[in-house]
Structure 1
Amino acid sequence: MSDTIDIPAGDGTQTFRGYLALPASGRGPGIVLCQEIFGVNAYVREVADLYAQEGYVVLAPDLFWRMEPGVDLGYSPEDWQRAFGFFQKFDIEAGVADVTASVKALRAHPACTGKVGALGFCLGGKLAYLAAAHSGVDAAVGYYGVGIEGALDLVPQIKCPIALHFAELDQFCPPEARAQVLDAFAGKPDAQMYVYPGVDHAFARTGGDHFDKPSTLMAHQRSMALFKDAIGPVYDLSALWDKHCEYEFATRDVVATMATMVSEPYVNHIPTMTGGVGAKELSRFYKHHFIPSTPPDTRLTPISRTVGATQIVDEMLFCFTHTVEIDWLLPGIAPTGKPVEIPLVAIVKFRGDKLYHEHIYWDQASVLVQIGLLDPKGLPVAGAETARKLVDETQPSNTLMPRWEKSTGLTIADPALPLG
């Protein structure tokens, strides 16, 4: 759900264009997305669409319109040269005025529910910082902003929550410049500064030479936490996850299960690498290899639940009798009839009000011990004891440590036991 709209410039006599991405609901809080030096290109539109999936009305204004409307560059050497030329000629004050005009236009748009944040990358990272001081935004997030250290006199003017993401190896924001920014924000309420080790400038640009997925995921989660807290939207993630589990394990309805997820979700059961990526493969997995091969006496006992801005971490006991071949848990293993009890952890990520992905963890060695396929003698593994100790902390600890008895009676002041 995207469109291109006209944005009235601050002087009231001209307009410039902006890419507008809408959430599936059609309404939500606003984000003004400030571009890199390559214009409103495919990557900027991709970011806009991503945040629209998260529930925001996103407006990416064409901030180079005063030099050349419609700049849309790639990353070839020739495009890099053109982009750097635009950067050198860019009027930062006029750019801030255009961001401010975009904030005003977005607030007035019927799809926007009122509050508006600023988000930017590279040049846009600095503009998001400047928007926090000048444009009246309710929150701001900047990725590897270039030149922020030259405008630190504005820090006292920033009253909204702000997060800035830095790359440790970024030559456009070298360590000394980054240190100045971090020092300027030290102790300031609602200011979050993050440095990502071992990554370079533009680490969040998908397909780029410096793209780093772990850092990108962590930065996005932190950005979403700030935006959701400051401007919304608010979803009941617990209820969404509970409904998903109901369709999986109670009603066993594949169509209903998939309806709780984004259009292209994925599931990864980490120990066995089972699941699926994308709607087609995941539907196939659920229909033929998950729902019908989960034992009928399966029981999920909740132990704890942590709800974040974009994800849930669920800790539970997963109990069943191995009466069917369980493709996703014990692929290729004939039923043994043995009871199994294991601790299981699910990390469930959401985009907006839909599940995006699941990472499911359990101790596969414990499963194999309980069905008789792994002899625990002499190995640091256990069977159902791991599940029992999860719910009863008074169960014995350190039973797998042969050296545990040797420390009986020793104190902290005594020398450590020799290795070997």
Structure 2
Amino acid sequence: MSGGFIEIEAEGGERFRAYKAVPRSGGGPAIILLPEIFGINAHIRDVAEFYAEEGYVVLAPDVFWRVERDVELGYEGAEREKALDLLSRFDIDQGVRDIGSTVAAARALPEVTGPDGRKAVGVVGFCLGGRLAYLSAARLEVDAAVGYYGGGIDKLLDEAGGVSCPLTLHFGATDRISPPETIERIRAAFAGRPDVEVFAYPEAGHAFNRPGPHFNKPAALMAHSRSIAVFRKAMGPRYDLSALWDKHCEYEFGTRDVDATMSTMVAEPYVNHIPTMTGGYGYQQLHHFYLKHFVHGNPGDTKLIPISRTVGADRVVDEMLFCFTHDREIDWMIPGIPPTGKYVEIPLIAIINFRGDKLYNEHIYWDQASVLVQIGVLKPDGLPVAGVETARKLVDPALPSNALMARWTEPGGTDHG
């Protein structure tokens, strides 16, 4: 995907530019991306490409064009001062009308689609753009709106009644521009509105989604997942993530085809097996890992037995039993341990994150101590670890609990059943 600038016609026939990014599929619902006070700089263009990867046609308008055209600024020194000066001269009401022109331009694009044959358009904005996203939800006909750390929304709550679409607002819990009492006022203004959500992220400040000193990755990840859920529900596109994950597993464990496995993933994916920190980051490293250490390296009797599956807007969580005979060195799971011939059954959790219809990352968790006990290289005596019992109790919860707790059997400690 590679975006570029297009021209949009404003009221009165004047024209201003907007950065346009299109998904790999060639079309999808539209998202109007509203920038911070620094204009359509490299970060905002990256965000546009990010949402295009999620399946959206993105337009990022030059909101400052009536003050100064083609603004692209950095975050420090003179450029920051210039951004603040531009903000002081910015007419926010006229800015919302220009966003309305951008919404109309998006609905005129042949690439823009939506559910039920209509052309769906949502809005997402950051900082100044977050305030503009809120006002767009109140004043314009959009399908959904998301605002990140939009300062000044609390002074515009008289327009809350005009919000007629799903709205999600993200704030850092330590944001000095929107402190906790401000966030609570905003939340209270929408009490009784289940389609309006206001989130505050612990230890995150202003601009927590922007790379740099303010960046807070946990907050950014959670906020993006929630934003995608809002847009998917209101506008689509809707993907069968469960089927996509099943196909990926078929290539990994069934046909054992590395290139087919990689074809189910984004251009630069990553996999992390949490207990052993094995996997790969980026296409080349992950392809090498799959080819040399995973797809062809698993025992022939490897089985994945599903226990439960939860499917969200952008991820699948699989609970399963992972079963195999340790007939070879499995260096992604038990590196450095020669084959023991032991049969192993362990509970395993896979959390799979998607971007659009492609896998972006996998976080895989299991109890490494249980594996080591079952292959005989860790003696459980005196240690709070268990072997195959962890897998058997997952399937049969009536099996004994608390066997590792010596005090559990003390008289009068509890009703043992």
**Normalised-by-shorter TM-score class:** over 0.9
Structure 1 CA distance, aligned partners of 2:194 and 2:383? Answer: 50
Correspondence 1:188-267 to 2 at 5 A: 188-206=193-211, 208-267=212-271
Report how many aligned residue pairs link the two structures: 410
Q: Distance in 2 between matches of 1:258 and 1:357?
A: 12
Of residues 176-185 and 64-73 in structure 1, the stretch that sits farther from structure 2 once superposed is 176-185
Alignment of 1:234-313 (within 5 A): 234-313=238-317
Matching residue of 2:120: 115
Corresponding residue for 2:153?
148
- Deviation (angstroms), 1:234: 0.1
Instruction: Give runs of aligned pairs for residues 348-387 of structure 1, distance below 5 A.
Output: 348-387=352-391
1:183-215 alpha-carbon deviations (Å, 9 max, x no partner): 111221300110011111000002x21100001
Whole-angstrom distance in 2 between the partners of 1:282 and 1:408: 55
> Structure 2 CA distance, aligned partners of 1:134 and 1:410?
61
1:96 corresponds to which residue? 96
Q: 2:69: which partner in 1? A: 69
1:221-262 CA-to-partner distances (Å, cap 9, x unmatched) read 010111100111100001100000000001000000000000
Q: Report if the CA contact (8 A) 2:175-2:205 is conserved.
A: yes
Match of 2:166 among 161, 167, 171: 161
Of residues 169-178 and 122-131 in structure 1, the stretch that sits farther from structure 2 once superposed is 169-178
Q: Does 2:344 align with 1:340?
A: yes
Unaligned runs of 5+ in 1: 413-420
Which of 403, 406, 410 aligns to 2:410? It is 406
Name the residue aligned to 1:20. Answer: 20
- What is the alpha-carbon distance in structure 2 between the residues aligned to residue 93 and residue 274 of structure 1? 52
What is the letter of the counterpart of residue 7 of structure 2?
D
Alignment match, 1:415: none
Gap change, CA 1:72 and 1:281, over 3 Å in 2 = same
Change (3 A) 1:78 1:407: farther
In structure 2, give the amino acid aligned to 1:191: V
Distance 1:258 1:18 in 2: 34
Report the equivalent of 2:116: none
Query: In the TM superposition, what whole-angstrom CA distance separates every residue of 1:96-134 from its partner, at most 9, and x where no partner exists?
Result: 001111011001111110100000000000000000011
Rounded to whole Å, the distance in 2 between the matches of 1:100 and 1:275 is 46
Alignment of 1:41-60 (within 5 A): 41-60=41-60
Alignment partners' CA distance in 2, 1:394 and 1:4: 62
In 1, the alpha carbon distance for the partners of 2:154 and 2:133 equals 14
Residues of 1 paired with 2:263 and 2:22: CA distance?
Answer: 20
1:382 and 1:149 map into 2 onto residues whose CA distance is 54
1:2 aligns with 2:3: yes
TM-score between both structures, scaled by the size of structure 1: 0.96
Aligned-partner residue type, residue 350 of structure 1: F
User: Using the alignment, how far apart are the partners of 1:197 and 1:10 within structure 2?
Assistant: 42
Q: Which moved more, 1:350-359 or 1:165-174?
A: 165-174
Residue 165 of structure 1 aligns to a residue in which SS? strand
Q: Does 1:187 align with 2:192?
A: yes
Give me the CA root mean square deviation.
Answer: 1.2
1:126 to 127, 131, 153: 131
Identity %: 61
Superposition deviation, residue 287 in structure 1? 0.2
Look up the SS of the partner of 1:86 in the other structure: helix
Q: Look up the SS of the partner of 2:406 in the other structure.
A: coil
- The letter for the 2-side match of 1:338 is K
Distance 1:167 1:390 in 2: 38
Q: CA deviation at 1:384?
A: 0.3
Calculate the TM-score normalised by the size of structure 2.
0.97
